Chain A
Amino acid sequence: MTLTVLGIETSCDETAAAVVRSNGDVLSDVVRSQVELHAPFGGVVPEVAARDHALALPGIVRRALEQAGLALADVDGVAVTHRPGLAGALLVGLLTAKGLAWGANKPLVGVDHLVGHLLAIFLRRPGESLVAPPTFPFAALLVSGGHTAIYRVDDARLDRMQELGATRDDAAGEAFDKVAKLLGLGYPGGPVVDRLAATGVATRAAVALPRPMAGRSGFEMSFSGIKSAVARHVEAHGVPEGQALADLCAAFQSAVVDALVGKTLAAARAEGLSRVVLGGGVAANRGLRARMTEVAAGRGVEVFVPPLASCTDNAAMIAYAGALSLGRGEAAGLDLTPATKTALARVTRKGGGKRASP
């Protein structure tokens, strides 16, 4: 039986609602980004995020239902991101979802945001050419401003997904933001660094950036050392201009991308997996997509990259993951509480262990 679920996502700085079927069909997908609100601060301000979610979400929910051409009575359940994320931001989505579920007398399903990302490749958006989705099992690289980790995904459920390695410090997207800030390129940093990097040559950059964890056998990553090396370079020599700036961006991006690609493919090989799925906002990075596809092809690994709308935070992936949960009879009580951490099994201790020296 195909289930239709309303999904809600407010874990960070996107307010989103969507209606999706358990076969992956996206009936509506409404996302409102707060990025401009946070830009003056160079990062997400939790209280600013929560305030904006509270004002925006009711309208976003109404639009998602309207665009799907459905009333709440027509859906089979309400799915909501309840972890991980900013506590205050998560609460807005969670309590709204509870109110919707209670009023409509529909089941509530809590979804782990990372599970949503890991399943986003299965969304079928109207107007997109139908690409065959990957079959299980596959390796997945989830990379965004808040998360950077490699997973083994054996099935579309939380207890069949396992972290193989993650960043010990900054998320890759966070490193992009911090470097962009250092270079006076504004916030968010990913798109602008990616654009400049495309016109630069990494080997021509005036600084050699470290390749943290590259020599290690595990699948843990580290990005703060790369960022710090850029910071030291800028402190000593000032912010480069013109071609030198593009070259520095290329060097930084290549250091980050090499780590992501190298560790992901090493993890896939170690696990005997021949498919790699990308997810998260940084999966939109052209340098990452190109390099991953190129290196994977040489190793006989197939790479699956979701369209941009499925990479960045959205509620369609939450609705989809929720629809699958509901199909398995997994509904939450209205006493569901938010959590700042993921429920996915983790192997990397943040900030722990010996850091790789630059």
Chain B
Amino acid sequence: MEFRPAPAGGRVRPMLVLALSTSTPRGSVALVRDGEVLGRAVHSELRAHAERLFAGIDEVCARAGVLRRQIELVACDVGPGSFTGVRVAVAAAMGISISLDVPAVGVASVEAMAAAALAGAPVGARALAALDAQKDELFIGDYQLDPSGALREVTSIVAMTRSAAAPHLARAMQLGHLVVGAGTALAGVEASISTEAVTLPDAAFVAHLGVLRASAALRHGSLAPVYVRPPDITLSGPVAHRPTGPSV
């Protein structure tokens, strides 16, 4: 598997990073040091993220022989994706960041996918990553590989209807850009690459991108989820007897 995204610049301090991703049905945890994935755990049920996330974290730490106190940075997939799913990792990351007194950094889901697609690609290469946004829409991120190994956001992440996304993605492909992600199928476009970490966000690439922007990591605030869409306005009934499922 292509889990060694080497930053082209090589200026990044070796750092032990715990990365989390729960924005889509495939949740993942990775422990990464200096581009090397020391441990990785995956689970594949959106509704089980809250239950299984910490088993995954314990598993990767045990596999890597790492003590929680050694973790220096928490990198987190902040969406877009399932609103509720995004908050599972974001809330966990903030709890870990506070308790270990280490910074937390957010990475967009579609950016992690684009990074996976662009691993090993030449500087200047561009990738569009698409995820299912439900309600007949896709979340689309558009990134270009810059000389430092980081990604530059070409346009802001959008929620686009399937019918608008189809020609948009097809045209990007004609221009030679990579078009990837589980969302491409919904627009009737065949993904340029369809490996696991490109199809849905993966914590290993969240870690990679997180390290690149570690200097901008938060020590005091809160990670801000990227929802793209405004909240659904449905009123709750009495909380005791009207359960409300996750949105999106």
Residues on A facing B (Cβ under 8 Å): 11-12, 41-51, 54-59, 61-62, 72, 84-88, 91-105, 145-147, 170-171, 174, 334-338, 340-342, 350
Contact = CB atoms under 8 A, between A and B. Distances in A.
Contacts of B231: 45, 47-48, 51
Contact of B91 (A87, A92, A147, A337): A92
Nearest to A337: B51
A84 B95 CA distance: 22
A56 to B, nearest CB: 7
Nearest to B78: A54
A62 B236 contact: no
Contacts of B97: 58, 99, 103
Given A47-B232, A54-B225, A57-B222, A88 B246 contact: yes
A99 B233 contact: no
Given A46-B234, A48-B233, A99-B92, 7 more contacts: A47-B247, A54-B90, A87-B243, A87-B246, A96-B92, A98-B95, A335-B51
Nearest to B248: A47
B96 A46 contact: no
B165 interface: no
Contacts of A88: 83-84, 87, 244, 246-247
Contacts of A341: 240-241, 243
B87 A50 contact: yes
A263 to B, nearest CB: 17
B245 interface: yes
Given A57-B222, A61-B98, A50 B84 contact: yes
B91 A102 contact: no
Contact of A99 (B55, B98, B221, B238): B98
A45 B245 contact: no
A35 to B, nearest CB: 14
Interface residues of B, number: 48
Contact of B87 (A95, A97, A105): A95
Contacts of B95: 95-103
A72 B98 contact: yes
Contacts of A146: 238-240
Q: Give the one of B83, B91, B224, B233 with max A CB within 10 A.
A: B91
A89 to B, nearest CB: 8
Given A105-B68, A337-B51, A86 B239 contact: yes
B235 interface: yes
A99 B240 contact: no
B183 to A, nearest CB: 21
Contacts of B89: 95
A58 B98 contact: yes
B222 A58 contact: yes
B90 A170 contact: no
Interface in B191-248: 220-222, 224-225, 227, 231-247
B19 to A, nearest CB: 14
A235 to B, nearest CB: 21
17 contacts: A12-B239, A41-B235, A45-B234, A45-B235, A46-B247, A47-B234, A51-B225, A55-B222, A58-B221, A88-B87, A95-B91, A96-B95, A99-B97, A100-B96, A146-B238, A171-B240, A337-B50
A159 B231 CA distance: 38
Contact of B84 (A55, A91, A335): A91
A127 B52 CA distance: 43
